[in-house]
Amino acid sequence: METTTTEMNSSLLSTQNKSSDLKGKLIVGATQLAVYTIIAVLFVILGIIIYEGREKFSWEFISSFPTNGMTEGGIFPALIGTFIMVIVMSLAAVPFGTITAIYLTEYASESSKFAAAVRFSVRTLAVVPSIIFGLFGLGFFIQFVGTGFDTAFNGGELRWGQPNILWASLTMSLLTLPVIIVSVEEALKTIPRELREASLALGATKWQTIKNVVLPGSVSGIMTGTILAVSRGAGEVAPILFTGAAYYLATLPGSLSDQFMNLGYHIYIMATQSSDVEKTMPIQFATTLVLLILTLSLNVIAVVIRSRIRRKAK
Amino acid sequence: MKDVKIQVNDLSLYYGEKKALKEISMQVPANKVTALIGPSGCGKSTFLRCINRMNDLIPSVSITGQMLVEGVDIYDKNVDVVNIRKKIGMVFQKSNPFPKSIYENVIYGSRINGITDKRELDEIVETSLRQAAIWDELKDRLGDSALGLSGGQQQRLCIARTLAVNPDIILMDEPASALDPISTSKIEELVHELKEKYTILIVTHNMQQAARVSDHTAFFYMGELIEMGKTDAIFTKPAKKQTEDYITGRFG
Amino acid sequence: MSSPISSKQNFTREGLKKQFRLSEFLAEKIISSVAFLSIAIIFLIFIFVFKESLPIFSLGKESVKVEMQQSASVSGDQPESYGGVETEDLQPESYGGLETEDLQPESYGGVEKEDLQPESYGGVEKEDLQPETYGDVQAEPLVENNDSAEGTAKEEKSNSIWDTLLTPDWVPVSENPRFGLLSLLIGTLKVTIISMLIAGPIAILAALYTSCFASKRTKEIIKPIIEMLAAFPSVVIGFFALMVMATFFQDIFGYDSRLNAFVGGVAMALAAIPIIYTISEDALSSIPKTYTEASLALGANKWQTAFYVVLPAATPGIFAALLLGVGRVFGETMIALMATGNAALMSANPFESVRTFAATIGAEMAETVFGETHYSVLFFIGSLLFIFSFGLNALAEFYVKGKLIKKFQGK
């Protein structure tokens, strides 16, 4: 220890001269530049999308159907489709994610191999490319579950064995699961140990303690997780490319076995496969603006709630 | 010692490999206040938490020896830890009311036990708060959040909450260490009154406090029980040199 | 132990006997099984993605077809029959055939495609290129000849599927379909390298500024702003790259193909920056205060401390951040689909169009038919992506964590 200290000491002292001052300034400047570059790019993107999209952006645009081969009109069905999808997705992912988080913070012991495996799986889920979820949705939900269900109960008539809003939502729920787990876990950890002990010392069982003390204290964490998951799910396209999204539908989805239109997918289709990309440009930008407003505002809300939780924990 | 409430035989506690309590043997008399004193880190709080098996929550802890409460070994495989804790209440160093109303705090344990009758619950709240000598201060604001109370009030609320479960033994882990002198003296008075009905063990590093409230005192040092006896005796003529050094303030 | 016992018996063996609490038991079982589902999902993803790619592993002559039918029946008797003659009618687009080239939205394989791409806007031929009919399905009657083509193709390639996987030609739909993954690999690597070269330094420098130089208030402002970039959906970044960045860069560099590896790489850097930034920043901030204080106490100034003490100590974490950044870029689909041009070329030029693995799956999966070779190959690519990202994550977890632990605890 002594030797390393002196080594460091001398090496630092030897570099302490004018050229090192300059070097320091350059390094700090470079790091500063990196920060400002990122922030500038972010605002440029935001600015351009707002600027290009403002013209078309209106209540009418949001509330009307596309017309004329999707070269005119609004994005109502895409918006509604996205809403339905994130709701079904949340219904599946939130309980699932919350319970997993409860397991990890309340039941898992530190040395448990099982808990380590669960943690690893959750982190893996968070880094699996979203397109893989799409493939899984196709291979598992549609080909395996859906088709299996049709064969068993529908006499082979094709109803669930094809892309629809249910399979897309469930696929998306797998993708957003880690988001919820991480948020809820963080919130559960902010519940002071003293409260848990108080409850247990009063003769409450573990589950009673969780139900009466831990969960009520983490409601805002669950909310944050849900909002972040919704924000994420609303913007993802790859998982639903072949599990339920449709180019164009004249009607809103009437049941879970219908396909649906989706904002992100709509942007993709309009931008790459529209019959007149030039003409529909304002529509595309306005759609992008709507999606961006949706995801960003949800994110801001989540960040605000989260920072409040953190402040309270201190 | 007539009525022995708790009989401890060769109790040792390990954190993983480290032995934190070394072959503790003692008898805790019923309906008396027993103070556990000793320098910080001596194991007195750890020992206290053994009595209601709070240390079970720490995965690395293992315990050998016997802890007999009225003759029943509470570390027996067939003993239910939840029932143990209903009978052995605990008040913590830092007051820890739930972020709920005062009323809800007091009846927490009763609700857990399935009592739902409103009149019964009201009664429990009043009796417990009266016992904790805080009824007059709080009776008009039972619906307020417990977090709005002062530190001393919170601590007495926590005592009331513990009493509401109707325990037999109350463990207090430095209950007044974070309080001002006035609140502290209120807690001490309370302890004095409560021993009529309950057996109380209190951990403290304030020797005056131990002298004031306790009937018996146990001195812990480095995970060992050095000496235990009547408080008067311990404080006036301790048998062991270490005890004397500690009491006279030579270390700790 | 014959000590006298208090008269009033509160503690009896009976009263304290271990109770079985059903709700407690159920809660624990249910909670653990739900937690187990996370593990199960990982396995299921691997099994199901891999299962669908199984047919290409059969090496026998005719077995490709047989396997396909088997897998169809395994996954529960498809109402449609695959692999047979009827499938062709279901195909919405036809790829590969020379005559059909004009019809494709994106063209695969050919070299002359630049002019034909729908991504090049303002051209005149657009109308003819319009591929998809919206609303009702796959009405294109142009593929009759594919029928026999498929049959012969299958026989031909039955023994050569593994050979073709290692060739540059990605021509999945033609009389003689070839599934060469090399050009896709090159494309993916090109985009990944470009975007990491951009995102890595910028994100790490920004993280260094945030954790070492910025005041507490500045930190509280810039951190959420940069992390907000993570909230930009990739389709939005892809769209922005396609509509704005592509033209912007073309004006600067004057290259031919408007959409290329460089544009895609820059766009993906935007997606990777928040990941690398957040994780690096965490790693940098978690360096114990004593380290920096010791350095400052020795007379080192802020930047020397940051550069010679904090940065080296956080290397494992930053390495993990870069690995996860690579994982993100490698599997990114929407940006690749929209901004890279989607041409499977063997070229080292960063300004040529490329086609990545993920984009290939995204673009072609909807048009393949269950059970045919093309479908299986796409799932095979998916398995590769999955294994790769799984491996990266495992590496980041175990290797890096091990190093960190060694660094701060034991020597």
pLDDT digits (tens, 9 = 90+) for B84-130: 888 889 999 888 899 889 999 999 988 888 888 889 999 999 999 98
Q: Which pLDDT belongs to residue A93?
A: 93
Nearest-10 Cα torsion for C124, C125, C128, C129: -120
Question: Residues A47, A63: one domain?
Answer: no
Is-contact C307 C373, C-beta < 8 A? no
Q: Which pLDDT belongs to residue C108?
A: 40
Q: Which pLDDT belongs to residue A227?
A: 92
Question: Which of B9, B71, B78 is opposite residue C17, by nearest beta carbon?
Answer: B78
Q: How far is C237 from A289, CA to CA, in rounded Å? A: 12
Question: Residues A134, A73: one domain?
Answer: yes
Indicate if the pLDDT at residue C331 is higher than 50.
Answer: yes
Indicate if the pLDDT at residue C174 is higher than 50.
Answer: yes
Work out the pLDDT band at A18, boundaries 50, 70, 90. Answer: low
Number of domain units in chain A: 2
Count of CB atoms within 10 A of residue A20's CB?
15
Indicate if the pLDDT at residue A95 is higher than 80.
Answer: yes
Touching subunits for chain B (3+ Cβ pairs under 8 A) = A, C
Question: Residues A72, A23: one domain?
Answer: no
Task: Give the structural domain span for A246.
Answer: 59-313
SS3 C337: helix
Looking at per-residue pLDDT, the higher value among A299 and C129 belongs to A299
Average pLDDT score over residue span A30-53 = 91
Q: Which pLDDT belongs to residue A313?
A: 66
Per residue, the 3-state secondary structure of chain A, as one string, reads CHHHHHHHHHHHHHHCCHHHHHHHHHHHHHHHHHHHHHHHHHHHHHHHHHHHHCCCCCHHHHHCCEECCCCEECCHHHHHHHHHHHHHHHHHHHHHHHHHHHHHHHHCCCCCHHHHHHHHHHHHHHHCCHHHHHHHHHHHHHHHHHHHHHHHHCCCCCCCCCCCHHHHHHHHHHHHHHHHHHHHHHHHHCCCHHHHHHHHHCCCCHHHHHHHHHHHHCHHHHHHHHHHHHHHHHHCCHHHCCCCECCCCCCCCCCCCCCECCHHHHHHHHHHHCCCHHHHHHHHHHHHHHHHHHHHHHHHHHHHHHHHHHHHHC
Question: Residues A100, A192: one domain?
Answer: yes
Looking at per-residue pLDDT, the higher value among C20 and A10 belongs to C20
Domains of chain C (ranges; CATH) run 62-158 (no CATH), 182-409 (1.10.3720.10)
Average pLDDT score over residue span C293-300 = 79
Work out the pLDDT band at B249, boundaries 50, 70, 90. Answer: confident
Model confidence over C269-278: pLDDT tens digits?
999 999 999 9
Question: Residues A91, A119: one domain?
Answer: yes
How many Cβ contacts (< 8 angstroms) between chains A and C? 335
Q: How far is C394 from C143, CA to CA, in rounded Å? A: 45
Model confidence over B57-72: pLDDT tens digits?
888 888 888 888 888 8
Are the beta carbons of B57 and A217 separated by less than 8 Å? no
Is-contact A191 A314, C-beta < 8 A? no
Residues of B in contact with A111 (CB under 8 A): 59
Average pLDDT score over residue span C340-354 = 79
Indicate if the pLDDT at residue B7 is higher than 60.
Answer: yes
Indicate if the pLDDT at residue A181 is higher than 90.
Answer: yes
CA-based nearest residue to C257, from C269, C265, C249, C268: C249
Residues of B in contact with A205 (CB under 8 A): 82, 112
Indicate if the pLDDT at residue C151 is higher than 80.
Answer: no
Question: Residues A49, A63: one domain?
Answer: no
Average pLDDT score over residue span C240-247 = 89
Question: Residues A157, A172: one domain?
Answer: yes
What whole-number percentage of chain A has pLDDT above 70?
93
Q: Tokens for C340? A: 């890279």
Question: Residues A96, A244: one domain?
Answer: yes
SS3 C178: strand
SS3 C175: coil
Mutating which of C45, C266, C337, C357 best tests the A interface, going by the most A Cβ atoms within 10 A? Answer: C45
Q: Tokens for A312? A: 């309270």
Helices (H), B53-147: 81-87, 102-106, 108-112, 118-131, 135-138
Indicate if the pLDDT at residue B50 is higher than 80.
Answer: yes
Cα angle: C285, vertex C288, C289; to 5 degrees:
90
Question: Residues A197, A247: one domain?
Answer: yes
| CATH value at residue A108 | 1.10.3720.10
Question: Residues A202, A69: one domain?
Answer: yes
Question: Residues A306, A158: one domain?
Answer: yes
Q: CA separation (Å) from C235 to A14, A71, B187, C31, C104?
A: 51, 20, 64, 36, 22
Question: In the sheet where B33-37 sits, what is the strand order?
Answer: B88-91, B169-173, B199-203, B33-37, B216-221, B224-230
Taking the Cβ of residue C333 and every Cβ of chain A, the question of whether any pair is shorter than 8 Å is answered with yes
Question: Residues A113, A259: one domain?
Answer: yes
Work out the pLDDT band at A35, boundaries 50, 70, 90. Answer: very high
Question: Which of A109, A197, A203 is opposite residue B92, by nearest beta carbon?
Answer: A197
Q: Which pLDDT belongs to residue B251?
A: 63
Q: Which pLDDT belongs to residue C58?
A: 66
Indicate if the pLDDT at residue B147 is higher than 80.
Answer: yes
Average pLDDT score over residue span A154-166 = 82
Dihedral of CA C346/C348/C350/C351: which sign? negative
Looking at per-residue pLDDT, the higher value among C304 and A210 belongs to A210
Q: Is C220 exposed, middle or buried, given 0-12, 13-18 or 19+ CB atoms closer than 10 A?
A: exposed
Mutating which of B56, B84, B90, B96 best tests the A interface, going by the most A Cβ atoms within 10 A? Answer: B96
Mutating which of A44, A143, A287 best tests the C interface, going by the most C Cβ atoms within 10 A? Answer: A143
Work out the pLDDT band at C314, boundaries 50, 70, 90. Answer: confident
Q: Which pLDDT belongs to residue C116?
A: 39
Work out the pLDDT band at C369, boundaries 50, 70, 90. Answer: confident
Indicate if the pLDDT at residue C71 is higher than 70.
Answer: no
Work out the pLDDT band at C133, boundaries 50, 70, 90. Answer: very low
DSSP B14-72: EETTEEEEEEEEEEEETTSEEEEE-STTSSHHHHHHHHTTGGGGSTTEEEEEEEEETTE
Taking the Cβ of residue C32 and every Cβ of chain B, the question of whether any pair is shorter than 8 Å is answered with no
Work out the pLDDT band at C104, boundaries 50, 70, 90. Answer: very low
Looking at per-residue pLDDT, the higher value among A308 and A79 belongs to A79
